[in-house]
């Protein structure tokens, strides 16, 4: 119950921060209401949608490391730890990061969960966090773990966190813009009832967001294949294949329900969603693709 309360508080705090920040930004920019006596002011509407659609996504990205540490209870490992197992984990991440050309080493952490998984997050290549679950750390061998870490470092090196946030922000802005323009005309233009217009906008945003999710999920699957290839280059193809095979055997423990923004950057996805909405390709396909190009 206490944990659920913390999640609700964090969700409310982040959204309040987004609301206040974007409201102040729009006021400073002098953005006027997009509806006026002449109909729609498309410039004002475009700025409004871009600010809300992209601003919220990038504020969340900026807070992603803090959110991950608090929500997932990630324990960041001191690079000077005397624990040989934890020291190996930090040194392996840093070795892979140097091979990937990162200027600043990512933070490395462990979170308590029986799931066999790992994730990378952070607002930039040089401000990243790589975390592994206790289940992965305890049940996989060193070579398999190195394959997993190679995959996550490839995400960081490829700038996937920023790229996916940018794409999500653009999709959000397009959805908001189209929903408001269509609702304005469907509801009767300047003579429309504001309550009816808001209702139509709400329904259209839900419908258009579904199509947006398909686009984001498709690009996410492409990004996972790239991270697999990057992990194979950094850690070795056999280690990457071994990591994915281990995840396939233990996929029932891959719990992605904690937070979608973090789940999207985990190495293993859930097969429960329809394929069009899945952020991760099936593990079997990822293994086959790596073997095919061996």
Residue ranges per domain, the chain? Answer: 72-161+219-292
Q: What value does the mean pLDDT take over residues 179-194?
A: 80
* Per-residue pLDDT band at 57 (split at 50, 70, 90): confident
| CATH number of the 72-161+219-292 domain | 3.30.2010.10
**Residue 74 backbone dihedrals phi, psi, to 5 degrees:** -75, 130
Residue 107 a catalytic site member: no
**Residue 131 backbone dihedrals phi, psi, to 5 degrees:** -130, 140
**pLDDT of 197:** 85
Q: What value does the mean pLDDT take over residues 139-158?
A: 94
Q: Which residue has the tokens 């390709």?
A: 281
Per-state percent for the chain, helix, strand, coil, to nearest 5:
70, 5, 25
Q: What value does the mean pLDDT take over residues 150-179?
A: 92
Q: What value does the mean pLDDT take over residues 91-95?
A: 96
Q: What value does the mean pLDDT take over residues 29-52?
A: 74
**pLDDT of 116:** 85
**pLDDT of 61:** 85
Residue 186 class from Cβ within 10 Å (0-12 exposed, 13-18 middle, 19+ buried)?
middle
Residue 209 class from Cβ within 10 Å (0-12 exposed, 13-18 middle, 19+ buried)?
middle
Check whether 267 has a pLDDT greater than 50. yes
This prediction's pTM: 0.81
* Per-residue pLDDT band at 256 (split at 50, 70, 90): very low
Which range among 111-125, 188-202, 218-232 has the greatest average pLDDT? Answer: 218-232
Q: Residue ranges of the alpha helices (H) in 117-236? A: 134-139, 142-157, 160-186, 194-235
**pLDDT of 32:** 59
* Per-residue pLDDT band at 253 (split at 50, 70, 90): low
Q: What value does the mean pLDDT take over residues 99-119?
A: 92
Q: What value does the mean pLDDT take over residues 80-101?
A: 95
Check whether 194 has a pLDDT greater than 50. yes
**pLDDT of 29:** 58
Q: What value does the mean pLDDT take over residues 156-161?
A: 92
Six token digits for residue 190: 């300047």
Distance in angstroms (rounded) separating the CA atoms of residues 201 and 282 = 35
Choice among 152, 205, 285, 288 that is catalytic: 152
DSSP, res 189:
G
Q: What value does the mean pLDDT take over residues 197-222?
A: 92
Check whether 270 has a pLDDT greater than 50. yes
N-to-C CA span, the chain: 49
């Amino acid at each position: 119950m206490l944990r659920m309360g913390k999640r609700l508080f964090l969700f409310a705090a982040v959204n309040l921060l987004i609301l206040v920040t974007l409201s102040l930004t729009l006021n400073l920019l002098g953005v006027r209401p997009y509806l006026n006596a002449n109909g729609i002011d498309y410039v004002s509407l475009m700025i409004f949608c871009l600010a809300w659609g992209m601003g919220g996504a990038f504020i969340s990205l900026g807070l992603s490391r803090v959110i991950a540490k608090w929500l997932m209870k990630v324990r960041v490992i001191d690079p000077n730890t005397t624990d040989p197992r934890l020291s190996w984990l930090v040194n392996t991440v840093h070795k892979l990061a140097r091979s990937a050309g990162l200027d600043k080493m990512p933070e490395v952490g462990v979170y308590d969960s029986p799931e066999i998984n790992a994730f990378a997050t952070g607002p930039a290549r040089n401000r990243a966090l790589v975390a592994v679950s206790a289940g992965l750390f305890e049940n996989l061998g060193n070579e398999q773990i190195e394959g997993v870490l190679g995959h996550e470092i490839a995400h960081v090196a490829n700038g996937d966190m920023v790229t996916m946030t940018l794409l999500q922000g653009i999709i959000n802005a397009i959805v908001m813009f189209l929903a408001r323009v269509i609702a304005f005309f469907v509801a009767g233009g300047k003579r429309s009832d504001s309550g009816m217009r808001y209702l139509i906008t709400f329904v259209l945003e839900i419908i258009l967001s579904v199509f947006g999710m398909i686009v984001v999920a498709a690009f996410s699957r492409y990004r996972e294949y790239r991270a697999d290839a990057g992990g194979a280059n950094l850690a070795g193809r056999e280690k990457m294949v071994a990591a994915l095979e281990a995840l396939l055997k233990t996929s029932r423990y891959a719990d992605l329900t904690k937070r979608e923004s973090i789940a999207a950057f985990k190495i293993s996805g859930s097969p429960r969603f329809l394929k069009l909405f899945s952020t991760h390709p099936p593990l079997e396909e990822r293994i086959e693709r790596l073997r095919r190009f061996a």
